Amino acid sequence: MALCHRALDSRQQPTQAALAPAAALYGRPLPRSRRSHLWLSSSPFCPRRGRVWPPHVPLYYPSYLMIIAPSFLSADFAHLEREIEMLNKSEADMLHFDVMDGSFVPNISFGFPVMASLQPVVRKPMDVHMMVVHPEQWIEKVASYGAEYMTVHQEACHNLHRCIQMIHEAGMKAGVAINPGTPNVMLDEVLCDLDLVLIMTVNPGFGGQKFIPSMLDKVRRMRAKLVERNFSALIECDGGVNLETGRMLKDAGADVLVAGNSVFRSENPTETIHKLKNL
């Protein structure tokens, strides 16, 4: 497949007129937070979405803004009302919930009662990251709380493709996470069915861990694979994300940054979210 790309200025945003031809073929507005690149490809095809791009059509992914998903795991649980109010007023795009069972990962976090109590007051989409064994048994439960994304771990699913289908059938967008030691190739057969790929940049289980630098190349390779095959999944990164590592992840090709301690432990969380979004 012939492929060429050239980077636009990181602060340049094409006009709606320039985006119209590609948006019309795409069938819906182009993703807001993709890389500010002009991608030109030779008729790649996605079986699930059924999109074929003519080689002459430039694909702009216009926005230079990152998608920010503060991790609720790092919130102050003694002052949840204050934290939720701050997030609702902030520029955060989603609220990231890390659900841990103490089996798949060596820690236990909050469960569904917490999510149920927050559902009426949270005005941001819910991005639910299931760090549990047998995640398929909780799909309907997660969907009942209005989650937009449900992400399961490749390492925890005996039948990953079926699990992804079940998430879509429940009305949610499907994501799959891979741990630092899991190679990208483990997702090759399901990439076309994914809405989100979560690349863990720390080993899962605990907040506040140090970012693993080698994951930058992993993100680059995943971005190259998605571009080559013209798949539309977002790349999300979780673990050790701050203003410094967030900039590096954006340059590597990430779309979504999950930030915990760097947001909730900062002097001004709202301003930190703003800075992360505008890296």
Pairwise CA distance, residues 38 & 120, whole Å: 40
Residue 64: per-residue pLDDT = 57
Residue 41: per-residue pLDDT = 30
Instruction: Give the contacts of 234 (CB within 8 A, at least 6 positions apart).
Output: 31, 33, 34, 67, 195, 196, 197, 255, 256
- Other CB atoms within 10 Å distance of the CB of residue 242: 18
- What's the length of the chain? 279
Choose, from 98, 101, 127, 193, the residue flagged as catalytic. 98
Residue 23: per-residue pLDDT = 42
Instruction: Give the contacts of 171 (CB within 8 A, at least 6 positions apart).
Output: 143
Q: Identify whether 251 is a catalytic site residue.
A: no
Query: Of the given ranges (19-23, 99-103, 107-111, 260-264), which has the lowest mean pLDDT?
Result: 19-23
pLDDT at 116 exceeding the cut of 80: yes
Q: Which residues pair with 150 in a beta bridge?
A: 128, 174
Q: 3-state class of 172 per DSSP? A: coil
Which domains occur in the chain, in start order? 3-60 (no CATH), 67-277 (3.20.20.70)
Q: Count CA atoms closer than 13 A to 129's CA, side-chain side.
A: 29
Per residue, the 3-state secondary structure of 181-230, as one string, reads CCCHHHHCCCHHHCCEEEEECCCCCCCCCCCCCCHHHHHHHHHHHHHHHC
Q: In terms of Cα–Cα distance, which of 109, 127, 125, 218 is closest to 175? A: 127
Q: In terms of Cα–Cα distance, which of 269, 170, 154 is closest to 222? A: 154
Q: What Å distances lie between residue 235 and 51, 242, 269, CA to CA?
A: 20, 17, 23
Q: Identify whether 238 is a catalytic site residue.
A: yes
Can you say how many angstroms the Cα of residue 203 is from the centroid of all Cα atoms in its chain? 17
Instruction: Give the contacts of 140 (CB within 8 A, at least 6 positions apart).
Output: 170
**Average of per-residue pLDDT values in the chain:** 80
Instruction: Identify the band that residue 207 occupies on the pLDDT scale cut at 50, 70 and 90.
Output: low
Pairwise CA distance, residues 253 & 236, whole Å: 10
Choose, from 127, 195, 238, 255, the residue flagged as catalytic. 238
Cβ contact 46:226 at 8 Å: no
Residue 51: per-residue pLDDT = 36
Can you say how many angstroms the Cα of residue 108 is from the centroid of all Cα atoms in its chain? 22
Q: 3-state class of 61 per DSSP? A: coil
Residue 230: per-residue pLDDT = 93
Pairwise CA distance, residues 167 & 139, whole Å: 6
Query: What digits encode the pLDDT tens for the residues 154-204?
Result: 999 999 999 999 999 999 999 999 999 999 999 999 999 999 999 999 998
Query: Which has more pLDDT, 45 or 220?
Result: 220
Instruction: Identify the band that residue 255 occupies on the pLDDT scale cut at 50, 70 and 90.
Output: very high
Q: 3-state class of 18 per DSSP? A: helix
Query: What digits encode the pLDDT tens for the residues 81-109?
Result: 899 999 999 999 999 999 988 788 777 78
Q: 3-state class of 237 per DSSP? A: strand
